[in-house]
Amino acid sequence: MKKLLVLCALTASSAVCANTPISFDEMKDIDVQDISQLQIDGKTKVGDVLSGEAVSKGQIIIGDNGLSAYEATGEVLIQLASFADADEVAKAHGLTLKQAYKSFYVVTASEQNLTAVIDNLKKDGTVVSANLGLKNLNTKIN
């Protein structure tokens, strides 16, 4: 009887609480659906870029959390090994050097598919890293 009374009380209280605000402490233990299971039509997700989807200048990329957005600037950020010649690397890959700082370089490519440019750079033995230049669009939740 005591268990039945507690069960009835819990059932009634959940109906009352359903229309009240929820605190962070109540939400932190709730499972959230992974963004990869959501369909976001017309936009590229970061995970798609990492798996090799073509990216071109001006393309919008949605963060894996589904809340942030970035725009591809058309630039590629590369880091070269200390013995590498930036001019030679740029010439070999059809790139234009735009900016330099120590072993880091910002380059632009005439090729539209920036993912292919990055893949080719990563095959070069003098390139330590190559990444898309992304502009944070500062999307926020109100």
Q: Which domains does the chain have, with CATH numbers?
A: 42-136 (3.30.70)
Q: Which residues pair with 95 in a beta bridge?
A: 109
User: What's residue 137's pLDDT?
Assistant: 86
Residue with tokens 């009380």: 9
- 113 CB-near residues (< 8 Å, 6+ apart): 54, 55, 56
Q: Using CA atoms in the order 118, 123, 129, 133, what is the torsion angle rounded to 10 degrees?
A: -10
Query: What are the pLDDT tens digits along the chain (142 aa)?
Result: 555 555 555 555 544 444 566 666 766 666 555 545 444 445 566 666 666 788 999 888 887 777 788 889 999 999 999 999 999 999 999 999 999 999 999 999 989 999 999 999 999 999 999 999 999 888 765 5
Residue with tokens 């750079």: 121
User: What's residue 124's pLDDT?
Assistant: 95
The CA distance from 39 to 128, in Å, is 34
